[in-house]
Structure 1
Amino acid sequence: MSAPASPFDWAPKLVSSFIDGAFVGEVGGYRIPTFYPGDGRIISELQEADALEVDRAVRSARRAFNDPAWRDMAVEARQSILYRIAETIEANALELATLETLNAGIVRRDVLGRQVLRAAYNFRFFAEAISQQPGQVWQQNKDYLTFVTRHPVGVAALIAPWNSPLALASMKVASAIAFGNTCVLKPSEQTPLSLARLVELINDITPPGVVNLVNGRGGVTGAALTEHPDIDLIAFTGGTETGRQIMQTAGRRLKPAAVELGGKSANIIFADADQERALDGALISIFSNNGQQCLAGSRILVEDSIFDDFVGRFVERAQKIRVGDPLDDATEIGPIASARHREHILSYVGVAQSQGASLLTGGHALDRPGYFVEPTAVLAPSNSDRVCQEEIFGPFAAFVKFRDMEDAIRMANESQFGLVGYCWTQNLDKALRVSQGVRTGLMWVNTPMVRELRAPFGGVKDSGLGRDGAAASMAFFTEEKTTTIPIADTTLRKFGV
């Protein structure tokens, strides 16, 4: 498709559910406006799916799963489908990236260069992964042959967040269908546009009902989806409180659930680090994706001997960051995703100052249309302050000073969260000790945000349960079956003789 005269022409006037291979027609019901964060205008409307519509989507997914043509499809045929989806995403990259920018406010250059590429790679990766999974055979008992096979679980409820819809939702969809499941995807009601188009593109390749879409608020559409008795498993990325509710629902129904939740990651910078690289990494980890990411290195712990110099250089760079139109390639940080979330972020300036923090830079909304805030950093007196313990989820860094390695590890672990961590040092022994001492699901040493899909990814504590990755996703989206066959003449007991 050629680009329209205006990027806004790509946004549909109405977004509805996509069930059994087609968009649901315009019907009555609750409508939710969709805003462009760059200037606050309404660019689309969302037609909320109620419980009956969710039931239609789940039943469609169940019919598709029950069809042996999909459930028992040969690996090579499924690989071909996944590769075609990846190629289709790449062929429609500009449209998908533009829709994501219009909805989430992420700089389009970054969506094109990272999120869309990642979305395509997710499908390509799982196409390769499903052809490399080993089997298990047990022969220790010489009279029997025992082997293990894996089978798709069934219908998956996939719930995606608003901060990076394409990259995160595509990971869930790709891993679910790669192993033979079908799914119902629910995006955030804030950001339905890119995922509605993605599901439409996927359905040009997959059989109807394999990938369905429902839209609406968590308390309405999301609740109907997770409570549905014919859902077999749930994968969720989002806030910790919602994750708790989903786990309670899954527990009541004895359904497997994987939840990737919040973070307040410590970024530990030692005096012996490559200071220029550490500075670049600190800026990337808190300000990329407009600061709205669970992986953000939002607690920056700096060794006392370099503290003043490092913080001064950070502030100097932060004040030069170009905040503006997310459709402009020169922009480094775009708008916050919603007016409500912008106010949430800015409220922490007062929270920090009330506990004795010093505002180092930023802390204000930009005087222009849209939901823009200045890149912000504060100097916190204590790691126990709210600004160091609560997830702000924006371009807002808190600096804290530490004395030595033990002090840094202790402070990093003084958090309810445990998703990722960062460590900057040239000392290998120190890097290993910090990596093993900090309680997180993942640790990056001397680099920011490298995602290796072959390795497990997920959090501990209030950052979630479960993992993504090649083996981890296979374990979640398949069930093991053990089969035992005698290979020798074995004597059986004879009852009633």
Structure 2
Amino acid sequence: MTIHATAIIDAERITGTGRPIEVVDPSTEAVIAEVAEADDALVDRAVASARAAFERGEWSRASVEQRQAVLRACADAIDAAADRIADVECANTGIPYAQVRNGQVVRAAGNFRFFADYIGQMTAELYEQDPLYLTYVRREPVGVAALISPWNSPLALGSMKVASAIAFGNSCVLKPAEQDPLGLTMLIDAIQGAGLPAGVVNLVNGFGASVGDRLVRHPDVDCVSFTGGTRTGRIIMSAAGANLKPSIVELGGKSANIIFDDADFEAALDGALIGIFSNNGQQCLAGSRVLVQRGIYKQFVEAFVERTRKVRVGDPRDAATEIGPLATRQHYAHVMSFVPAISDGGARILAGGGRAPGFERGFYFQPTIAEVESNAHRLCQEEIFGPFAAIMPFDTDEDAYRIANESRFGLVGYAWSRDIARVMEAQERISAGTIWCNTPMFRDLRAPFGGFRESGVGAEGGRAAEAFYTRQKAVSIPRRPLDLRKLGA
């Protein structure tokens, strides 16, 4: 067992003495590392480091060209450490190695390169309608950002928060999810030598209810970004709001994947499988409610079930593996708890529905499909967050939109049709923050990513990040000397 850094503060690795957090390999259930939780004093030290770095101005007042160079060097540092980062992340999360190495690590480096490019294209507002004045709007960094990343996709989403926060001149303190801190801690360690002034990017490990809460409430933290569960998001927004701190929270989803009868059948089938089973099914943007028009429903269900039964569950280090284990024992129990829900007669299992065969250890769950009679069923209304799809037929387009929008969530939606008019109607009628038409998951970092209703408040992405991580300052300057009133003359 390896003892890993509790924190990275002022570019130094620190092993604290707080309560131990065991890090488990979900494929073997073996404890592979231990991380000591950061105590209150260490959290305060991390925030103080970020505040001091911000006030010194080496980064907050650095030129765009200087920040661009460092952000690109951070990306290069991630590339150089990619194999090591992917190796530890695979062991910590159970996500297949190929998906980590070729997906999440590449995305992490890409996040830094994207924001390096973005800040070089920023423009300012200028108002000159008044003949006596020029008024322009400056964008200045907010200060210190508390960043809390999720356990399902730590590298991609944690690095997105860091890159977007620091690109605009802020300093930050990142808290990885306690379930899988290893890969993100290694990534943050790797970028410390890329030219970042000490204290610009700090990291503390620990539980959300203690370390996360102290970060959010800390008086020297100016804004908060959180990705995770809806219940926790409510707590964080409440705590941040009590201190008038702006926050963005990207939360859960129960997204509808609408497959119309004129869809490209094979593309829609492939997309439905990717939409629910990639990343071990643990993704807020999963197309977990598959709605199929009745004319093709029987054919689609047969093909969907056949392919699902062939999805390869296995050791995440095996190149042939398509789905690895769920992240933790607790989450495995959560996903399993939805299987008895079929006993009410409102749903029936078509594929999977239990522990993956052939595995005595590890949190392996079979790719599962349940046919449901009503969108009101628990399987359609609660976020399972695993490789578990609910499928049901619909008759008319109106039925599809009604069913899709009967949810307290509104993160993403999917629509499959060869008819461009139908696609355009669908993207307008589905109530969600992102709509994918004739494609599974695609992320353009220039566009905002955020949800409606209980899927979150605010968004990440190019312009959305600029709006959140900067403050506006209006500056007015006379064009020529003014003839001012002479009070008291």
- Tell me which residue corresponds to 2:396: 404
Residue type of the alignment partner of 1:258:
I
CA contact (8 A) 1:419 1:441 kept: yes
- CA separation in 2, counterparts of 1:224 and 1:482? 33
Match of 1:145 in 2: 134
- Which of 79, 86, 89 is the equivalent residue of 2:78? 89
For 2:201, the equivalent position in structure 1 comes to: 211
After superposing the two structures, state which structure 1 stretch, 230-239 or 45-54, moved more: 45-54
Structure 1 residues 111-260: aligned runs within 5 Å: 111-205=100-194, 206-260=196-250
Q: Name the counterpart of 1:4.
A: none
Letter in 1 for 2:65: E
Deviation readout 1:131-182 (Å, 9 max, x if unpaired): 0001111110010011111100000000000000000001000011110000
Q: Contact 1:236–1:260 at 8 Å: present in 2 too?
A: yes
CA-CA distance at 1:469 after TM superposition: 1.3
Kindly provide the amino acid, as one letter, of the partner of residue 115 in structure 2. Answer: F
TM-score (norm 2): 0.98
**Deviation per residue, 1:453-478 (Å, 9 max, x gap):** 11111111000011111111101000
CA-to-aligned-CA distance 1:168-226 (integer Å, 9 cap, x gap): 00100001111000000000000110011111111112111111011111111111110
Match of 2:341 among 347, 351, 354: 351
**Could you tell me which residue of structure 2 aligns to residue 269 of structure 1?**
259
1:156 touches 1:176 (CA, 8 Å); kept in 2? Answer: yes
Q: Given the alignment, which residue of 62, 69, 84 partners 1:80?
A: 69
Cα displacement (A) at 1:352: 3.0
* C-alpha separation in 2, matches of 1:26 and 1:378: 46
Partner of 1:377: 369
Give the residue type in structure 2 aligned to 1:34.
V
Q: Which residue does the alignment assign to 1:457?
A: 449
Alpha-carbon RMSD across the aligned residues, in angstroms, is: 1.0
Give yes or no for the alignment of 1:494 onto 2:486.
yes
Match of 1:31 in 2: 20
Q: Per-residue CA shift, 1:251-275, capped at 9, x if unaligned?
A: 1000010000000000000110000
> For 1:47-90, what per-residue CA distance to the aligned partner results, in whole angstroms no more than 9, with x for missing partners?
10122111010000000001122111011111010101111111
- Secondary structure (helix, strand or coil) at the match of 1:453 reads coil
What secondary structure, in the 3-state scheme, does the structure 2 residue paired with 1:42 have?
Answer: strand
Shift in Å at residue 492 of structure 1?
1.6
Give distance in 1, aligned partners of 2:157 and 2:125: 31
Shift of 1:12: 3.9
Q: Is the 8 A contact 1:163 1:337 kept in 2?
A: yes
Equivalent residues of 1:262, 1:463 under 8 A apart: yes
Aligned residues: 486
1:495 CA displacement: 1.8
Deviation at 1:14, TM superposition (A): 2.8
Given that 2:346 and 2:374 are in contact with CA atoms closer than 8 Å, whether structure 1 keeps it comes out as no
Equivalent in 402, 407, 410 of residue 415 of structure 1: 407
- The aligned counterpart of 1:59 is 48
Rounded Cα–Cα distance in structure 2 between residues aligned with 1:117 and 1:72: 29
Letter of the 2:102 partner, please give it. G
1:391 to 373, 383, 388: 383
Please tell me whether the aligned partners of residues 5 and 15 of structure 2 are also in contact (alpha carbons under 8 angstroms).
no
Q: What is the CA–CA distance in structure 2 between the aligned matches of 1:15 and 1:59, rounded to whole Å?
A: 19
Deviation at 1:489, TM superposition (A): 3.1
Whole-angstrom CA distance in 2 between matches of 1:248 and 1:134: 33
- CA distance in 2 between counterparts of 1:124 and 1:228 reads 30
- Give yes or no for contact 1:268–1:423 (8 Å, CA) kept in 2: yes
> 1:423 corresponds to which letter in structure 2?
A
Structure-2 residue corresponding to 1:6:
none
Counterpart in 2 of 1:474? Answer: 466
- Tell me what 2:37 maps to: 48
* CA displacement, residues 290-335 of structure 1 (integer Å, 9 cap, x when unaligned): 0000010000000011111101110000001110100111100000
Give the secondary structure class of the aligned counterpart of 1:359: strand
When normalised by structure 1's length, the TM-score is 0.97
Preserved CA contact (<8 Å) 1:15 1:192: no
What is the rounded CA distance, in whole Å, between the counterparts of 2:38 and 2:78 in structure 1?
26
Q: Kindly, what percent of the aligned residue pairs are identical?
A: 53
CA deviation after TM superposition for structure 1 residue 26, in Å? 4.2
TM-aligned CA deviation for residue 355 of structure 1? 4.7
The superposition leaves residues 227-256 of structure 1 with CA deviations (integer Å, 9 ceiling, x where unpaired) of 101100000000001001111011100001
Q: Which residue of 2 aligns with 1:445?
A: 437
Alpha-carbon distance, 1:426 to partner: 0.5
Give the secondary-structure state (helix, strand or coil) at the position aligned to 2:253.
coil
In the alignment, what sits opposite 2:8?
18
Runs of 5+ unmatched residues, structure 2: none
Please give the alpha-carbon distance, in whole angstroms, between the structure 2 residues aligned to 1:421 and 1:455.
16
Structure 1: segments with no counterpart, 5+ residues: 1-10
Q: Take 1:470 and 1:161, find their aligned partners in 2: how far apart are those partners? A: 20
Quote the Cα distance in structure 1 between the aligned partners of 2:107 and 2:60. 26
Q: Residue 15 of structure 1 contacts residue 45 of structure 1 at CA under 8 Å; is this kept in 2?
A: no
